[in-house]
Amino acid sequence: MVKKFMALLRMKYIEMFAYQWATLAWSTGAMVQPIITMMVWINIYETEMESFILYFSTLILVERLTAAWDVWDLDRDIREGSFSNYILRPIHPIHWAIAENIIYKGLFLVVLVPAWLVSSFFLPSLQLHLNGWEWMLFISALLLGGGIRFMFSYSCGLLGFWINKVTAVYAMFEGISLFFSGRIAPFSLLPPIMQDISLYLPFRYMIGFPIEVITGSVKGADLGYGFLGAFIWVLIFMGILGFLWHAGLKKNQAVGG
Amino acid sequence: MSIVVDHLNKQFKVHVRQAGWLDAFRSIFKREYQIVEAVNNLSFTIQSGEIVGFLGPNGAGKTTAMKMLAGLLHPTSGAITVEGFIPQEQKAEYKKMMSLVMGQKSQLIWDIPPMETFLVNKAIYEIDDNSFNKTLDELVALLELEPLLNKPTRSLSLGQRMKCELAAALLHRPKVLFLDEPTIGLDVDTQEKVRRFIANYNREHKTTILLTSHYMGDVTALCKRVIIINHGKLLYDGDLDVLTEKLTPYKLLEVHLPTLPNQSWETYGEVDSIEEGKVTLRIPRERIREVSARLLQEFPVHDLNIQDPPMEEVITLAFQEKSHG
């Protein structure tokens, strides 16, 4: 299995360099929305500039490292029938997507971490003073967030076995997620009712929770509950994914050809 | 027995809608569906190492049946076993011993060279280094792939891509091969090469092959036996020669003369065509010997050819025969 996965990683690495300009756009283009949102908030709360810079810089990093685009690929592949080629091979198609995620996120790290380090010389608020334990908590929250976001996107993609243009459904969830994942504003600025609701939805654990961990805005028992919530959503999406996969294969029309 | 198909059925529920603005809008509130019987009570068996042509007009259900055999589609009812496996169970062991090549769908990774797809398949199908190198060398030589291996797939011509598709499908040496229109869109020369390759491959590796094609050349060159379906139902399963004799009880007799005499040819047989210096007659099979002798005796014949009617004609008759009955 390790050999198979290494071959997929190698192939995705080579493929990534075939899409040079697209890769560059994916690495950097996603910075635009958080930067503009940050400028809006700084304009409103000028005194909080430093904390907004830290929050939205972390948002850029976490958003890229948990990004999920699999629904777009699955929607196209199922609708056009090219998904059959993945089903026919003796390895679960999800491994192709996992390999692609690892390769691209590796690249995002290579682009974003040096950018952060350089920026931190000019912006003191970006100089992090975390101990080993805090780094471990952040990385764990990030991995759980990435896992939830990936499985959410892949599960929506599998709905393509039943409905056309499943990306429309996904876009609706993305709209909701903008608010509940902390991408529009830090949770502390959301109305209390939205803060409460966000605890029970998966979106907070995708992006907002890892940011709260690194910025130190969640502590003690709340930190524990945050990890518990993230872990429960991982389990829920594993169940949903397994169910949709098996039911989808029965429903598959293997169109085209 | 390699493949056993037993009373196989596949129904699709298809959304139907009239063309036009109003009907498009109406379909939001009221969707009408139609049940399409793509495969209808189909049964046949194929022996190990056999190569069988799977024929039918467009929409006959060939590709649907083939996708069920490959495990992509679940049958509505009936049973399939291929080398003892039930395809829709999606067992990895089954996928490792079969291949489906679809002429209109590519398994090659589009933006990188075919060699990369081959290497991915090597790992996924768990092919050891020795077998991989040996098989790849053999495929590269037979299909003349050397100059194509390191060019991005998207820059290959259709014929070049198809040859790489075949190589990708055969690297793990499948025991069962489903070929769905493997020569579609290829030029005559490449069609011939692919045909020769498939015939050799079947002979050397005793691979069971089920082949669909709209090119009768593929079928006559490769298949002794054909299975013909239409509207998802079996029309004919048997020897291609027997089908030809049954449906076209005549042969074409081509007579070449220095100058064509101005006379009626009806006393010899039905005239198929008359061209400069050549007349083609349709003669009942039992009269071929007698008519040939008469023509040779009565005319200064330059050349005389006896041929079976074109396979396209036989197959068209096969499709028509059942739709009348």
- Which residue of A85, A161, A252 to mutate against B (max B Cβ within 10 Å)? A85
Residues B114 and B227 in one domain: yes
Measured between beta carbons, which residues in chain A are less than 8 angstroms from residue B88? 249
Residues B82 and B216 in one domain: yes
Residue B84 forms part of a structural domain: yes
Percent of chain A with pLDDT over 90: 66
Mean pLDDT of chain A: 91
pLDDT of residue B321: 59
Distance CA A172, CA A156 (A): 11
Residue B69 forms part of a structural domain: yes
Percent of chain B with pLDDT over 70: 98
| Residue A134 burial class via C-beta count within 10 angstroms: exposed 0-12, middle 13-18, buried 19 and up | middle
Which among B95, B111, B180 is the nearest to A257, CB-wise? B180
pLDDT at A107 over 60: yes
Residues B47 and B183 in one domain: yes
Distance CA A237, CA B173 (A): 38
Residue A141 forms part of a structural domain: yes
Residue B314 forms part of a structural domain: no
Which residues partner with B278 through β-bridges? Answer: B256, B275
- Count structural domains, chain A: 1
pLDDT of residue B144: 86
Average pLDDT on A168-180 reads 91
> Quick one: which of B88, B79, B59 has its CA closest to B8?
B79
Residue B30 forms part of a structural domain: no
Residue A118 forms part of a structural domain: yes
pLDDT of residue A95: 95
Q: How far is A85 from chain B (nearest CA, A)?
A: 6
Q: Test A15 with B111 for CB contact under 8 angstroms.
A: yes
Q: What is the pLDDT tens value at each position of chain B, 325 positions in all?
A: 789 999 999 998 887 777 777 777 777 777 778 888 999 999 999 999 999 999 888 888 999 999 999 999 999 999 999 999 999 999 999 999 999 998 777 889 888 899 999 999 999 999 999 999 999 998 898 888 899 998 999 899 888 888 899 899 999 999 999 999 888 877 788 888 888 888 988 998 899 999 998 777 788 889 999 999 988 999 899 998 888 888 778 888 999 988 888 778 888 888 888 888 899 999 988 889 999 999 999 888 989 998 877 777 777 777 775 544 4
Q: Test B122 with A7 for CB contact under 8 angstroms.
A: yes
Residue A229 forms part of a structural domain: yes
Distance CA B268, CA B287 (A): 9
Range of the domain at A81: 2-251
At B307, which amino acid appears? Q
Per-residue confidence band for A129, with pLDDT thresholds at 50, 70 and 90: confident
Distance CA A227, CA A140 (A): 9
At A59, which amino acid appears? L
Residues B268 and B203 in one domain: no
Q: Which of B224, B244, B264 is the last residue of a domain?
A: B244
Percent of chain B with pLDDT over 90: 45
A-B CB pairs within 8 A amount to 83
- Which residue of B14, B58, B67 to mutate against A (max A Cβ within 10 Å)? B67
Q: Test A90 with B92 for CB contact under 8 angstroms.
A: yes
Q: What is the CATH number of the domain that holds B181?
A: 3.40.50.300
Measured between beta carbons, which residues in chain B are less than 8 angstroms from residue A257? 63, 67, 102-105, 180
Distance CA A232, CA A235 (A): 5
- Residue B213 contacts residue B53 (beta carbons within 8 Å): yes
Q: Which of B193, B211, B244 is the last residue of a domain?
A: B244
Which among B72, B106, B122 is the nearest to A87, CB-wise? B72
Backbone torsions φ then ψ of B322, nearest 5 degrees: -75, -35
Phi/psi region, residue B91 (left: phi>0; alpha: psi -120 to 50; beta: rest), is beta
Which among B71, B100, B105 is the nearest to A256, CB-wise? B105
Which residue in chain A has the smallest CA separation from B87? A88
Tokens for A95?
């491994």
Which residue in chain B has the smallest CA separation from A14? B112
Residue ranges of chain B whose CB lies within 8 Å of a chain A CB: 12, 63, 67, 70-74, 88, 90, 92-93, 95-96, 99-100, 102-107, 109, 111-112, 116, 119-126, 152, 180
Residues B56 and B202 in one domain: yes
Residues B267 and B192 in one domain: no
Interface ipTM:
0.86
Residues B156 and B204 in one domain: yes
Measured between beta carbons, which residues in chain B are less than 8 angstroms from residue A253? 12, 73
Q: Test B112 with A18 for CB contact under 8 angstroms.
A: yes
Cβ–Cβ contacts within 10 Å for residue B177, how many?
23
Measured between beta carbons, which residues in chain B are less than 8 angstroms from residue A10? 119
Which residue in chain B has the smallest CA separation from A250? B74
Range of A174-178, A228-232, B51-55, B238-242 with top mean pLDDT = A228-232
pLDDT of residue B251: 86
Residue B19 forms part of a structural domain: no
At B129, which amino acid appears? D
pLDDT of residue A255: 65
Measured between beta carbons, which residues in chain A are less than 8 angstroms from residue B120? 7-8, 11
Measured between beta carbons, which residues in chain B are less than 8 angstroms from residue A254? 67, 72-73
Which among B92, B109, B180 is the nearest to A15, CB-wise? B109
Q: Test B119 with A89 for CB contact under 8 angstroms.
A: no
Average pLDDT on A163-177 reads 89
Residue B191 forms part of a structural domain: yes
Residue B312 forms part of a structural domain: no
Residues B285 and B221 in one domain: no
Residue A117 forms part of a structural domain: yes
Q: Of A38-47, A210-219, B13-22, B103-112, which range is least confident? A: B13-22
Question: Coil, strand or helix: which one is B40?
Answer: strand
Residue ranges of chain A whose CB lies within 8 Å of a chain B CB: 3-4, 6-8, 10-11, 14-15, 18-19, 81-82, 84-85, 87-91, 249-250, 252-254, 256-257
B59-74 burial, b at 16+ Cβ within 10 Å, e below that, comes to: ebbbbbbbbbbbbbbe
Q: Of A26-30, A245-249, B138-142, B217-221, which range is least confident? A: A26-30
Q: Of A120-134, A170-184, B8-22, B206-220, which range is least confident? A: B8-22
> Quick one: which of B190, B135, B189, B133 has its CA closest to B161?
B190
Which residue in chain B has the smallest CA separation from A15? B112
Q: How far is B232 from chain A (nearest CA, A)?
A: 16
Residues B240 and B170 in one domain: yes
Residues B119 and B229 in one domain: yes
pLDDT of residue B243: 83
Backbone torsions φ then ψ of A164, nearest 5 degrees: -80, 155
- Residue B318 contacts residue B247 (beta carbons within 8 Å): yes
At A53, which amino acid appears? I
Q: Which tens digits make up the pLDDT trace of A147-156? A: 999 999 999 9
Residues B172 and B269 in one domain: no
Residue B162 forms part of a structural domain: yes
- Count structural domains, chain B: 2
Q: Test A257 with B105 for CB contact under 8 angstroms.
A: yes
Range of the domain at B279: 249-307
Place of tokens 């471990």: A136
Residue A256 forms part of a structural domain: no
Q: What is the CATH number of the domain that holds B268?
A: 3.30.70
Residues near A201 by beta carbon (within 8 Å), at least 6 away in sequence: A176, A180
- Residue B318 contacts residue B236 (beta carbons within 8 Å): yes
Residues B80 and B207 in one domain: yes
Which residue in chain A has the smallest CA separation from B93? A90
